[in-house]
Amino acid sequence: MNAAEAIVRMLVETGVRHIFGLPGDTSMDFYDALYRHQDVLTHVLTRDERSAAFMADAYARVSGRLGVVESPSGGGATYVLPGIAEAHGSSSPLLSLTTDVPIAEEGRGVLTELDQESLFRPVTKWATRIKTSGSAPEVLRRALRMATAGRPGAVSVVMPADVLRGPVDEENVYGLPEALEAPSKRTRPDPEAITRAADLIAQARRPVIVAGGGVRISGAWDELTALAEACNIPVGTSINGKGSVPETSPISLGVVGGNGARPYANEVLAETDLAIFIGTRTDSVTTLNWTLPRPGGPTVIHIDVDPWQPGNNYPTVLGIVADAKLALRDLRDAVDLKDPKIAERRAWLDEIAARKDAYFAEAAAKAAATSRPIKPQRVFAALRRLLDPETVIVADPGTPTPFLSAEYPLARAGRWTVVPRAHGGLGFAIPAVVGAYFGAPGKRVVGLCGDGSFGMSCGELETISRLGLPITLIQFNNGSFGWIKELQHLYHGDRFLSVDFNPVDYAAIARGFGFRAEQVVDPEEVEPAIARALDSGQPAFVDIVSESPLTETPPVAAWQAAEAARQVAR
C-alpha cells in the first residue's frame, strides 16, 4: 500500500464521505487512490480551489462534521488559502490536503515549488508536511484530532508527490471515527465556578446572554434555551451565533452589535447589569466596537472553550474554560429557580416583546414599499413566508448579511445559517451552498449573494448545474460593491471611486450555466419569482434589482450611527 492509498482509506474509515477540490500535476497518485474508493467517498469537483475550501467550510458548519478540501501545489495552494483562513477564523473543523512537488527535487526550481508549511501556518491550528511515506498515518491521525478537538479549526497537511508514492505499513492504517464530529473532545467546567456563576445569575436584576458561534459548534442550543427560558434571561447572538436559541422565543433578542442588530437588542444589552458571554470572541462587530455592553458597566461572566478568550476584551469577574454544552447543562442544574429576582424579570421580557413588535411593524412597512429599485426587506418578508423552518440559508458578507441577521427570525434553533464572519470574503455563497447541500441532506438550501460576489465565483454555477442540485440562488443586484459605496457616501462626501459596475444580464449568464433564471425589477414580482424558483426543483437563480445605497435600512443604520459617533470621538 502506498501513502496515497493509506490516506484515502483512513479518511473513509474515519467516516468522511465528501471531499471537495480539483486536480493538478502533483495530485495524480492521490486521485488514483480516490478513484478506487468512489463507492463510499464522493469527490466534488470544483472550478476553483478557494471555492472548494468554502464548500468544505459550509459542509462542516452545517453538519458539525469534519470538512475536507484538497488542492494541488503552487497556484492551487495559494488559491485555497483564503477559504482555509475563513474556516479557521470561524472555528470550522477543516482538513486541508495539498499535494506538493517531490521532496527529492527540492531547491531545483521545480514548477510550483513553494514553502507550503510557512504559507498555511498563520491561518491554521497546525500546518505540517509529510516527510516520509511511513509516517503518513500518524500525521493524518494527529491532524484529525487537532481539527476537531477543543476549539475546532483548520489544519493543513502537505503531501509531496514522491511521499504519496512511497510504501506504508498496512497495520498502521486505520481511521479515527471519534474525530469525525466536532467537538470530538469536550472540557467540563470547574464545579465551583459554575456555583458562583449560578449565584450571580440568580441575583442579577437584568442579566443578558450574548451567544457566539461556539454555542452552535458545541450543539448547545437546547441547553442554552432551557437555561434562558427557566431564568427569564434575554439572549442576543453574534451573526455566527444566530440559531443559538429559537428567535421566535420571548427570550430572543436577535443579533446584537454593529451589523444586522435590531436597535432594541442593542438597547437591552446597554441596560444589563450582568453580561454573560458564551462561545464568543467579543469581537468588534458583536460588541459595536466594544461599546456594548458599556465598558466598566455590568458584571461579566465569560464561558469559552478557548482559554485565551475570557477576559480578553472585557474585565471579567468570572471566566470559565469549558465546552458550552457541558457548561450550560451544569449551570441550568445549579441555578436556584426559586429566587424572586428570576420571576421579576418576566416584566422586562414583556417590555422587550413590545419593542420587538414595534421593530417588526416598521420592517413590515418597509417590506410593503413598492418603490424601485426593490428594498431588501421585501425579499426577506417573502422568504419568511415561503421557506420552511429547516431551510439552510448561506449568505455573502455584504448586503445579504445584515438583513438575514435582523429580518429573518429562525423559528428553530440550530445550524440554519452560514455566513463568513471571520474575514468576510466576497464570493462565498455561490460555492458554499454546495457544501451546505451535502452537509444537510434532505434540507432545502438557499444562497443569498450580491453582484460583487457573483463576479468572483460565478464559475461554480457550472458545479451546481453539473451536479443537478435543487438550490435557489437569490442575488441582490445593486450594480456596485454596495457596502463600500455606502461608506463613501457616509464619510467621504459621495466621492465614489471604483465601486460601480456596468449593467450585466446576470440571469442570462446563469441560464448559460444551465440554471432556470429570471430578473426581477417589479416589487410585486419578488415573491412569485422566488416561489417559482423554489418550486422548480432544479438549480434556480433570481436576480433582484435592489436598492442602493443602504442608508435607510435599519440593520445597517445602527452600524452607521455607531461608526459616525466613533469617528466624531476621534
Sign of the torsion angle spanned by Cα atoms 528, 429, 64, 5: positive
pLDDT tens readout for residues 116-159 = 999 999 999 999 999 999 999 999 999 999 999 999 999 999 99
How many other CB atoms are found less than 10 A from the CB of residue 434? 29
pLDDT cut 90: percent of the chain above it: 88
pLDDT at 550 over 90: no
pLDDT tens readout for residues 415-425 = 999 999 999 89
Q: How far apart are CA 2 and CA 133, in angstroms?
A: 7
User: With contact defined as beta carbons under 8 Å apart, do 240 and 282 qualify?
Assistant: no
User: With contact defined as beta carbons under 8 Å apart, do 437 and 62 qualify?
Assistant: no
H or E element at residue 286: none
**In one letter, which amino acid is 222?**
D
- 568 band by pLDDT with thresholds 50, 70 and 90: very low
pLDDT tens readout for residues 462-472 = 999 999 999 99
Closest CA to 424 of 52, 82, 70: 82
- Report residue 160 as a C-alpha cell: 509531496
User: Which are the contacts of 419, defined by CB distance < 8 A and separation ≥ 6?
Assistant: 239, 240, 242, 394, 395, 397, 401, 404
pLDDT at 555 over 80: no
Q: How far apart are CA 331 and CA 75, in angstroms?
A: 49
Closest CA to 167 of 131, 128, 129, 132: 132
Q: How far apart are CA 477 and CA 399, in angstroms?
A: 10
How many CA within 13 A on the CB side of residue 190? 10
How many other CB atoms are found less than 10 A from the CB of residue 92? 31
Closest CA to 410 of 247, 260, 250, 221: 247
pLDDT at 24 over 70: yes
The predicted pLDDT at position 489 comes to: 84
Rounded to a whole number of angstroms, the CA Rg of the chain reads: 24
- 564 band by pLDDT with thresholds 50, 70 and 90: low
Main-chain phi, psi angles of 452, to 5 degrees: -65, -45
Q: How far apart are CA 489 and CA 395, in angstroms?
A: 24
The predicted pLDDT at position 563 comes to: 52
Q: How far apart are CA 138 and CA 3, in angstroms?
A: 11
How many CA within 13 A on the CB side of residue 102? 8
Closest CA to 540 of 568, 515, 508: 515
Sheet containing 318-321: order of strands: 252-255, 235-237, 207-211, 274-278, 299-304, 318-321
Q: How far is CA 320 from the centre of its chain?
A: 24
The predicted pLDDT at position 19 comes to: 98
- 549 band by pLDDT with thresholds 50, 70 and 90: low
Pick from 16-20, 258-262, 365-369, 563-567: least confident: 563-567
Please return the burial class of 340, using the count of CB atoms within 10 Å of its CB with bins 0-12, 13-18 and 19+. Answer: exposed
- Report residue 106 as a C-alpha cell: 527540492
Of residues 564 and 108, more confidently modeled: 108
The predicted pLDDT at position 548 comes to: 74
Q: How far apart are CA 23 and CA 41, in angstroms?
A: 16
Pick from 82-86, 110-114, 383-387, 417-421: least confident: 110-114
Q: How far apart are CA 188 and CA 551, in angstroms?
A: 46
User: With contact defined as beta carbons under 8 Å apart, do 116 and 156 qualify?
Assistant: yes
User: With contact defined as beta carbons under 8 Å apart, do 91 and 153 qualify?
Assistant: yes
User: Which are the contacts of 561, defined by CB distance < 8 A and separation ≥ 6?
Assistant: none
**DSSP annotation of 251:** T
H or E element at residue 45: strand 42-45
Closest CA to 55 of 94, 109, 89, 28: 94
pLDDT tens readout for residues 490-521 = 788 889 999 999 999 999 999 999 999 999 99
Altogether, the residues listed in the chain come to a count of 570
- Report residue 125 as a C-alpha cell: 491550528
The predicted pLDDT at position 486 comes to: 81
Q: How far apart are CA 125 and CA 185, in angstroms?
A: 16
CA distances from 287 to 98, 247, 319, 510, 527 (A): 37, 19, 18, 39, 34
How many CA within 13 A on the CB side of residue 79? 23
pLDDT at 553 over 80: no
User: With contact defined as beta carbons under 8 Å apart, do 328 and 224 qualify?
Assistant: yes
Reply yes or no: is the peptide bond before residue 183 cis, omega within 30 of 0. yes
User: Which are the contacts of 516, defined by CB distance < 8 A and separation ≥ 6?
Assistant: 533, 536, 538, 539, 540, 541
- 209, β-bridge pairs: 235, 276
- Look at residue 450 and give its three-state secondary structure: strand
How many CA within 13 A on the CB side of residue 524? 0
CA distances from 277 to 222, 223, 282, 440 (A): 17, 15, 8, 28
pLDDT tens readout for residues 268-283 = 999 999 999 999 999 9
How many other CB atoms are found less than 10 A from the CB of residue 191? 10
Main-chain phi, psi angles of 63, to 5 degrees: -90, -25
- Report residue 157 as a C-alpha cell: 497537511
The predicted pLDDT at position 400 comes to: 92
Pick from 448-452, 508-512, 553-557: least confident: 553-557
